[in-house]
Structure 1
Amino acid sequence: MRENWEDQHIVFFDGDCGVCNFWVQWILERDKNNKFMFASLQSDFGQKFLAERGLETKVFNTLYLWKPGHYYYIKSRAVLQIASILGGIYKLSVAGKIIPAFLSDQVYDLISRNRMKLANQKCFLPDPNQKKKFIEV
């Protein structure tokens, strides 16, 4: 585990989901300023995050973005915030915030319900540099 994860934005994802793993890889490739770390929702760290906030600890259909010591984002708002933090062309995603969360979350939920059909379940193996960005405790 990398030191100072408290200074990072932590992306919590379903470690058993091909679509989620695809997006983790996508973020890793674009995170040039090392703003993100990752933890699966199934990990002890992920389970602790969920339990401390009274969130679902058995069903993993929601992406969370958390800046320790601050609030967290869920579903479509987490996706938009990740893009905004990545910066560059992705910062244009801020325009998506004009869509009410209840509408954009409906699209998110539709994708979430069908995610196992959308991606093959290839195992993601991070390279040694990427592995430092995963919290496994």
Structure 2
Amino acid sequence: MTEKYAQLIVVYDGTCLLCSRWIRFLLKHDQAGRYQFAAMQSDSGRQLLQSHGLDPHSPYSMLLVDDGKGYTDTTAIARVLGGLPQRRWQWLGAATSLPPKGMRDRVYRFVARHRYRLFGRSEQCFVPTPEQRARFMP
């Protein structure tokens, strides 16, 4: 993993089943290992959220840290998708950015607020395989 790639960190809710599916999707499609991951329940995840002015207990706390700068909500999702090597995901990332930010973020926040009810919740965080473990921050 190059130094540049080490600067791309996705902070997610490790007990949310939708969020865990998102991380599995990224692990599958980011075979170059560009993204690292930190559950918001971990020390590093909480620190990253707080350092970017986010509440680590908020249901909206999905964060992408790209070279020290934080992105949230649909902007974070679009940037992550745009950073994947496959064109179809880059296209989807660009398409995600088309609607006005206020509108798309309202939809994101609705889903985020109701994600446990809609998609379920796990009592423990997603457990990576031994091969994936190096991409997860403690």
| Deviations, residues 29-85 of structure 1 (Å, cap 9, x unaligned) | 11111110000112111221122233213324321101233x221011111111100
Distance across 2 between alignment mates of 1:5 and 1:12: 17
Alignment-mate amino acid for residue 62 of structure 1: S
CA deviation after TM superposition for structure 1 residue 120, in Å: 3.5
Q: How many residues align?
A: 134
In the superposition, the TM-score normalised over structure 2's length comes to: 0.85
Distance across 2 between alignment mates of 1:32 and 1:119: 26
CA deviation after TM superposition for structure 1 residue 7, in Å: 2.6
- Which runs of at least 4 in structure 1 moved beyond 4 Å after TM superposition? 2-6
CA deviation after TM superposition for structure 1 residue 117, in Å: 1.8
Given that 2:8 and 2:66 are in contact with CA atoms closer than 8 Å, whether structure 1 keeps it comes out as yes
CA deviation after TM superposition for structure 1 residue 87, in Å: 2.9
Give the match for residue 59 of structure 1: 58
Give the match for residue 120 of structure 1: 120
Give the match for residue 71 of structure 2: 73
CA deviation after TM superposition for structure 1 residue 5, in Å: 8.4
Alignment-mate amino acid for residue 41 of structure 1: M
Distance 1:47 1:125, change over 3 A: closer
Given that 1:14 and 1:61 are in contact with CA atoms closer than 8 Å, whether structure 2 keeps it comes out as no
| Deviations, residues 1-26 of structure 1 (Å, cap 9, x unaligned) | x9958733100001121111111111
Given that 1:65 and 1:72 are in contact with CA atoms closer than 8 Å, whether structure 2 keeps it comes out as yes
Alignment-mate amino acid for residue 97 of structure 1: S
Distance across 2 between alignment mates of 1:33 and 1:3: 10
Alignment-mate amino acid for residue 119 of structure 2: A
Structure 1 unaligned segments of length 5 or more: list them. Answer: none
Residue 84, structure 1, aligned to residue 86, structure 2: no
Give the match for residue 48 of structure 2: 49
Given that 2:59 and 2:113 are in contact with CA atoms closer than 8 Å, whether structure 1 keeps it comes out as no
Give the match for residue 100 of structure 2: 100
Give the match for residue 24 of structure 1: 23
Alignment-mate amino acid for residue 103 of structure 2: L
Distance 1:60 1:107, change over 3 A: closer
Distance across 2 between alignment mates of 1:9 and 1:22: 19
Kindly report the root-mean-square deviation, in angstroms, between the aligned alpha carbons of the 2 structures: 2.2
Distance across 2 between alignment mates of 1:129 and 1:31: 14
